[in-house]
Structure 1
Amino acid sequence: MEFCWNLNGEAYPDILEQTKTADANQFDAALIVSLQQAMDPWILATQLAASTNRLRFLVAQNTNSAQPAHTAKAVNTLNSIAGNRIDLNIVTGSSHFELHKEGIVDHHRDRYRRTEEFVRILGQAGEDSITHEGEFYRLRQYRVKPQAPPPRLFVAGSSPEALAIAARHADFSVVYAADFESTGRAFASAKRQAAQLGRRIRCGLLIDVIARPTTEAAWQAAEALGASFGRSDKKMKSLLLKSIDSVGIAEHRRLLAYPDHRVDRHLWSGIAQVSTAHALSIVGSYRDVMDTIQRYHELGADYFLLSGMAGDREIERIGQYVLPALKTSDQEVAP
C-alpha cells in the first residue's frame, strides 16, 4: 500500500509545512491539486520537490485546461530535475458552474473523450515524435524534450467512462470513497476491463480520516466538525450538487441520506455537507482506522489519498499511529 497526503490551503507557507510534515511522517507522496482557486500545480510542485528528497508528488492535471504535449514536457522536465519523483493525476472536471468560468460547456461524455485523447498522447511521449490528428488535439512530428522515464499515470473519476479510460491507459484508477459495496464494484470494473486488454491496473481511493486514541474521541471530533459547518457553506454545496455531472460527487446525495450521516460503523458522510470532493471520513480509533483501510485494501485499493478536515494534526496522528502498522503488515504479506 502507498499513502498520499492531500495538500490543502491557499498560503504557500502552510502547504510547505504540510509537505515537510508528510515527508517526516511516513507518507509516500503528496497530492497537488488542479483547481481554479489553488496555486499553479507545476510551479508549486517544482518548489516542493526542491524542498524534499524522498517524497513523491502526484500532480493533478485537468484535461479541460491543459495541452497533453505541454504536460508531457512539464512532467519530464521536473522528473529530470527531481529524480523521477513526479506522478500524474489526470482529472476531467465535474461542475458546470466551475467549468463555465473557463468557457467550457462540453457535456460529460465529450469531456471524457478529450481526456482519453489526452492520455493517449501522453502514452506516446517517449516516441521519437508524435503525429496526431484527433477530435481535440493535433500534433505534427512533435518531439517531447527532455526525455525521461514515463511518470506513473493516474486517472481519477468514478464514472464508467473514467474507469474505462483508466483500464485502457493508466497505471492507477482513482475513485472517490463510497460505501464498501459501491467502491468494490468500481475497483472490480476497472481491473476486469484492464485484464480483458491484457493489462494490470492498481486502484486508489480518495478519503478523509478522523483518527483519535479512542473511538469515542474520534466521533466527538466528527460531530464537532459537522457542527462547525456554516449554513452558507451547506447552501453552496447544495447548489453545486444541482450543477454537477460527476458520478463520484453526485453520489454525495445518496451518502448524505444516511441517519446521522453514519454510512457504516466507521464511515461518516458529514463532510459531504460542504466538501466539493470528499464524501466520506473514516472515523475511529487508530485501530479502527487501520481496520477500515485494510478492508478497502481487501476490496482492491493499493493507493490511499488521505486528508484530515477535522484537525491540523491529522498528518502526525495518521503518520505516527496508523501508517507504521499498515506498512509493516503490507511488507509481511508481500511475496
Structure 2
Amino acid sequence: MSQSEQPLAAPEREGTMIVGATVRTLGAWPSGWRYPGAHHDPRQDPAALRRLAGVAEAAGLHFLFFGDWLATGAEFEHTDPYLLARVEPFAAISFLAAVTERIGLIATVSSAHAEAYSTARSSASIDLLSDGRCGLSISSGSEPRSAANFGWDRVNGDEDRIAASDEFIEILRGLWDSWDDDAFLADQDSGRLIDPAALHQLNFVGSYRASAGPLNVVRPPQGHPIISVVGSAPSARALAIRQADLSFFSPDGLADAIDFYAEAKRQAARLGRDPDHFLLVTPILPIVAETREKAWSVYDRLVDLVPVETAAGVDGGLALPAGRTVRRLAGLLGVSLNGVLIDEAVPLKMAARFSQLGSDLVDLVRSRSGRTIGGYRPVTYRHLLVAHAVAAPVLVGSAGDIADYMETWYRHRATDGFTVLSAFIGEQFDTFAELVIPELKRRGVFPSEYTGRTLRENLGLPRPASVFSREDQTVG
C-alpha cells in the first residue's frame, strides 16, 4: 500500500464508515483459488457462501454484494476465474437470507435483459422474507456475448441503455409502492381484508419500458429495497447521482477520490437530493496478516501462483493471456529482456534504464511487497509483470496498515466506505474480518454492532415515502 496515503492529521468526521464484501467465490486474485486451503470448486459454492456469510455477519459487515455477467468463456480461467461459473445473484441472496439475520444482501440485475415487473416482484419478496435486507445493483451494460444469450443481434448504445435503466428504476419504485403500508386491514369482524383505495395502478409508459401494475406483493419492509449502481464512467455516474442510494466507484488514488466524492455529492444536491442519503463506496483488495512481513509473504505466494511466461516463448502450454509474456513486460519497461528468466532479480543497472512506466511498476511492487531494487528482498521480473497484470486496488499489510488506509480515505471524505474484494475465499477473508474490523471498531470509525433491523437502517438511509402518497411518510 502507498505510504503517501498514511494518515498524518486526519480531519474529524461524524458517523461511521460502511464496509461490505463483494463476493467472488473463486477469489478476486486471478489465481487465488490455487492458494493452499482456498475455496476452489464452484460445485461447493453453497458451503463456501454459507460460511462466508457467517463470518461477514459475525464481524458486522453491512452487506454482501453479488455482481454478475451474463456469459462465460474458457479464456477467463487465467484472468477472472470467478466469471467462469457462478450462482445467479437472486438465487444466492435468497439462499443466504435463510441462513443469516442482519447482514444486507445485494444482487445485480441487468436492466438491459431483465423485466422490471419480475425484478420488482422477486426483490420485494426477498425483502419481505429477509425482514428488510434486500438490495439491487442495476447494471445497464451489455456486450455481444451476453446479448446473444438473449437472442439479440446487436447491443444498444450507452445513451439508450442508460435511459432504459432510468425507466427500469422508475418502474421498480412505482411497483414496490403498489400497496400502501396499511393496505391490508385484516378486519375479521367486518370481513374487510384490504382497503381498495390503498392499491395503486402504475400505468407507466416510457420510451423504452412500460408496466401497468399493480404488483402482487405487499410493500417491502424497506419501502424500496436499496438501489445501487456500479461504475465511474460518466454515464454510470450520472445514473447513480439521479437514482442510486449506493454508488460503487473506482477512483485513481486518494486525490481523485476526494474530487470525485465532492463533485458527486454536489451534483446530488443540485438535483434536490440529500447528499447524506447518497452513499459512495470504493473497492479494496486487502492482503492482510498479523504483521506486515507475513502479509508480504502471502502476497509473494499469490504472485508465484499467477501463470506467466518463465522465459520468452515459454508458457507451459497454458495459452496465457497476452499480458503475461516477457515480450509484453519488455515493452512496458522499455528495455530488451532477451535471455532473462522471469524469477531473476532486477539488477540496478537494468532498472536505471526503465521507462517511466517501468519505474512506476517498481514503486508499485515496493508498496505491495516491500521489495526494492538491489535490496535483501529484491524486485523480480515476475513481480513487475504481475503488478501490471493485476489491475486491482491491492493493499498489503498488517491490520493497522489496512485500517490506516481505510480511515484516511473515510476521514478525508474520499468515500463513505469500502467493499472488500478477497484474494481468495477462506483464510484471507477470515483474517480481514478477524483483524481489520476489530481495529476499525477500536478507532471508532466502524459500528460496534448492527444499529438497525433493515439494510436501509444500518446504512443510515431513510425509508422512502410511497410515490403515490401526498403526505410525508418518511421514517428515519
Which residue of the other structure, out of 104, 120, 123, is the alignment partner of 1:75? 123
Map of 2:296 onto structure 1: 219
1:310: Cα distance to partner?
5.2
Which residue of the other structure, out of 129, 136, 160, is the alignment partner of 1:88? 136
Map of 1:288 onto structure 2: 401
Q: How does 1:181-192 map to 2 (within 5 A)?
A: 181-192=255-266
Give yes or no for the alignment of 1:143 onto 2:215. yes
Asked if structure 2 preserves the Cα contact closer than 8 Å seen for 1:286 and 1:321, the reply is yes
Give yes or no for the alignment of 1:132 onto 2:210. no
1:151: Cα distance to partner?
1.2
Question: Could you give the per-residue CA deviations for residues 53-100 of structure 1, whole angstroms, max 9, x where no partner exists?
Answer: 122111121222212222111111111111001111222336555555
Q: RMSD value over aligned CA atoms?
A: 3.1
Q: Which has the higher strand share?
A: 1
Asked if structure 2 preserves the Cα contact closer than 8 Å seen for 1:29 and 1:58, the reply is yes
Cα distance, 1:64–1:305 mapped onto 2, change above 3 Å: same
Asked if structure 2 preserves the Cα contact closer than 8 Å seen for 1:25 and 1:315, the reply is no
2:419 maps to a residue whose letter is L
Q: How does 1:1-335 map to 2 (within 5 A)?
A: 1-9=17-25, 10=42, 11-36=45-70, 37-93=85-141, 96-102=144-150, 103=152, 105-125=155-175, 126-127=177-178, 128-143=200-215, 145-148=217-220, 149-176=223-250, 178-199=252-273, 200=275, 201-231=278-308, 235=321, 258-260=360-362, 262=364, 265=367, 270=386, 273=389, 279-297=392-410, 298-309=412-423, 312-328=426-442, 329-330=444-445
Q: Distance in 2 between matches of 1:202 and 1:100?
A: 34
How many residue pairs match? The answer is: 314
Asked if structure 1 preserves the Cα contact closer than 8 Å seen for 2:55 and 2:433, the reply is no
Asked if structure 1 preserves the Cα contact closer than 8 Å seen for 2:158 and 2:235, the reply is no
1:312: Cα distance to partner?
2.5
1:304: Cα distance to partner?
1.5
Moved more, 82-91 or 113-122: 113-122
Larger Rg: 2
Asked if structure 2 preserves the Cα contact closer than 8 Å seen for 1:25 and 1:316, the reply is no
Q: Distance in 2 between matches of 1:25 and 1:189?
A: 32
1:319: Cα distance to partner?
1.3
Q: Distance in 1 between matches of 2:400 and 2:283?
A: 20
Moved more, 265-274 or 141-150: 265-274
Q: Distance in 2 between matches of 1:100 and 1:304?
A: 34
2:280 maps to a residue whose letter is C
1:291: Cα distance to partner?
1.0
Question: Could you give the per-residue CA deviations for residues 138-168 of structure 1, whole angstroms, max 9, x where no partner exists?
Answer: 1224435232121121111111111111111
1:215 maps to a residue whose letter is R
Q: Distance in 2 between matches of 1:166 and 1:18?
A: 28
Residue segments in structure 1 that go unaligned for 5+ positions in a row: 239-254
1:197 maps to a residue whose letter is L
1:48: Cα distance to partner?
0.9
Q: Distance in 2 between matches of 1:109 and 1:91?
A: 14
Moved more, 38-47 or 135-144: 135-144
Identify which of structures 1 and 2 has the higher relative contact order when contacts are C-alpha pairs closer than 8 Å and 6+ apart. 2
